[in-house]
Chain A
Amino acid sequence: MPACRILIVEDEALIAMDIQDMVEEMGYDVCGVASSASGAVTMARQLEPDVVLMDVRLRGPGDGVDAAQEIHAGRNVPIVYLTASGDQATVDRINQDHPASILPKPVRRQMLASVLDRLLRGGGG
């Protein structure tokens, strides 16, 4: 069975590298890494990932929610938000989309593993 494919959307290379290493160690494939909303939408269309890990604040115009809404308009892929902002305004903003989950940054490996297991392997999460 091929490994599930994950798209990472994160504007900081070091954080993206860390997330990539974590999900690869869990046995998933990282099919792409985008740093902007427009890049995320393009990659999601081209690569058709099984899950998107989405930062909220991105480089350039638009944020992660804008990108997620555009991705969801074309395809129903689970989007897990990773955010360093736990304030109500950010949570409200994320809930304008249909988040599969919201994880705080720095991301805890066990929490990420649990969420991906639930979404991709039908685990109890």
Chain B
Amino acid sequence: MTAARSPAAPDGLSRQLIATVASLSAARDLDTVMRLTTRAGRDLLGCDGVSFVLRDGGLCHYAEEDALEPLWKGRRFPQEECISGVALRERRLVVVDDVAADPRLPVGLYRPTFVRSLAVAPVREDDPVAVLGAYWGRRHQPTPAELELLQALSNAAALALANVELARAHHEAREAERHQRLLVAELSHRVKNTLAVVQSIARQTLVRAADLEQFGDRFLGRLGAMAEAHGLLVTADWKPVPLHAAAAQALAPWQAQCRLRGDAALTLPPPVHLALALVLYELACNAARHGALSVPGGRVDLDWRLTPNDDGRPGLALHWREHDGPPVAEPLRKGFGTRLITGMIGHDLSGRCTMVFDPAGLHCRLWLPADP
């Protein structure tokens, strides 16, 4: 039988290394890893400076340092022109005991610094992503123990970087999942809201329809106008839609009898576009049943311009004017089309709608605030 051995009490250096590894294992971002590594490297090696150099494509990015005097923090050098590049390419520890005498080093870079000797170790030896450099202000041949320590610290930094990458990937996956849940919830909301609108149009059309054929014509027409307006919005990537395009689409069946005049560059935010498309469709359908679009020679002019209302509030004015159609009389009761127009302009867009049943042709003036 052998007696259980007591673990060896760690010396000061080992304790320091253990503490560094513990801190590095808890680090969750690159800056913390670099800061902890450079500080610990200087303490553990007793050298005059330590830098953390990241591989940045074909460049070496001196991203962090802890040194007697500033070295190259923030600068980038081609891999071929600095010793860190050698460690990256050759995947091994590189020692230079006299920077002035080594042809691999650009002397001009070192002359203004305190550095006389150095050692650089790759971070992640099999496929380096960075280099840890140690610098001495006097000629110094690093001992095997110092080099072992430098490489051990580089390896700990490599593990910490892998942790950071894992944490980042985990965070991104959770964010993507959260974003997807939000998108699904938003999509569900919009679908149900749109179904509620369709339900309303169906019910209102149904109660006023003389027969099933009329219901079919009117309901499907309204549904089609809604679908086309959504289609234009999708084409515009849910960004503001040109008013000219929206009006031309809503009035397409009566294109030859309609004249559109207004700023061609003017665009409408998505909710305004969706509401106005239905309003124009209703005006056109009404004109096709009772007004100027019900006869071959009838005409509709649609004009628009940016103009403030009486209170000076900026907005958009549209004028729908029918002419050369049959004589117009004010209807005895308000139909769904009129209710839809006044409701959408007044309630949805906080605008104003005035209809004048001039015997020569209907005039409809709309005013929409720029900021409803």
Residues of A within 8 A of B (CB): 11-18, 21, 33, 35, 57, 59, 84-87, 89, 104-107
- Determine if B200 and A17 form an interchain contact, defined as CB atoms under 8 angstroms apart: yes
How many residues in B have their beta carbons less than 8 Å from beta carbons of A? Answer: 25
Chain A binder among B123-131, B297-305, B336-344: B336-344
Known A17-B339, A84-B189; judge A106-B199 contact (CB<8 A).
Answer: yes
Q: Can you name 25 A-B residue pairings with CB atoms under 8 Å? A: A11-B348, A12-B193, A12-B196, A12-B197, A13-B348, A14-B343, A15-B193, A15-B196, A16-B347, A17-B204, A17-B340, A17-B343, A21-B204, A21-B207, A35-B348, A35-B350, A57-B189, A59-B350, A59-B372, A86-B192, A105-B193, A105-B195, A106-B198, A106-B199, A107-B196
Give every chain A residue within 8 A of B75 (Cβ-Cβ).
Answer: none
Give every chain B residue within 8 A of A104 (Cβ-Cβ).
Answer: 192
- By secondary structure, the B interface counts as helix
Identify the closest chain B residue to A15 (Cβ). B196
Q: What number of A-B contacts does a CB cutoff of 8 Å give?
A: 71
- Determine if B188 and A18 form an interchain contact, defined as CB atoms under 8 angstroms apart: no
7 interchain residue pairs of minimum CB distance: A18-B200, A13-B343, A84-B192, A13-B347, A106-B196, A84-B193, A14-B200
Per-residue contact bits, chain B 177-214, to A (CB 8 Å; 1 contact, 0 not): 00000000100111011011111110110010000000
A59 CA to B372 CA in the complex, in Å? Answer: 9
Identify the closest chain A residue to B372 (Cβ). A59
A17 CA to B193 CA in the complex, in Å? Answer: 14
- Determine if A14 and B195 form an interchain contact, defined as CB atoms under 8 angstroms apart: no
A21 CA to B200 CA in the complex, in Å? Answer: 9
Q: How far is the CB of B366 from chain A (nearest CB, A)?
A: 14
Q: How far is the CB of A69 from chain B (nearest CB, A)?
A: 22
A15 CA to B202 CA in the complex, in Å? Answer: 11
Give every chain B residue within 8 A of A18 (Cβ-Cβ).
Answer: 196, 199-200, 203-204
- Determine if A16 and B343 form an interchain contact, defined as CB atoms under 8 angstroms apart: yes
Q: How far is the CB of B209 from chain A (nearest CB, A)?
A: 15
- Determine if B340 and A14 form an interchain contact, defined as CB atoms under 8 angstroms apart: yes
Known: A12-B197, A16-B347, A17-B204. 6 other contacts (CB 8 A): A15-B196, A18-B203, A84-B189, A86-B188, A106-B195, A106-B199
Give every chain B residue within 8 A of A21 (Cβ-Cβ).
Answer: 203-204, 207
Give every chain A residue within 8 A of B188 (Cβ-Cβ).
Answer: 84-87
Tell me the residues in window 318-346 of chain B with beta carbons closer than 8 Å to chain A beta carbons.
Answer: 339-340, 343-344, 346
Identify the closest chain A residue to B343 (Cβ). A13
Give every chain A residue within 8 A of B185 (Cβ-Cβ).
Answer: 85, 87, 89
Tell me the residues in window 121-175 of chain B with beta carbons closer than 8 Å to chain A beta carbons.
Answer: none
Give every chain B residue within 8 A of A13 (Cβ-Cβ).
Answer: 340, 343-344, 346-348
Identify the closest chain B residue to A56 (Cβ). B189
Residue among B196, B207, B340, B348 with most chain A CB within 10 A = B196
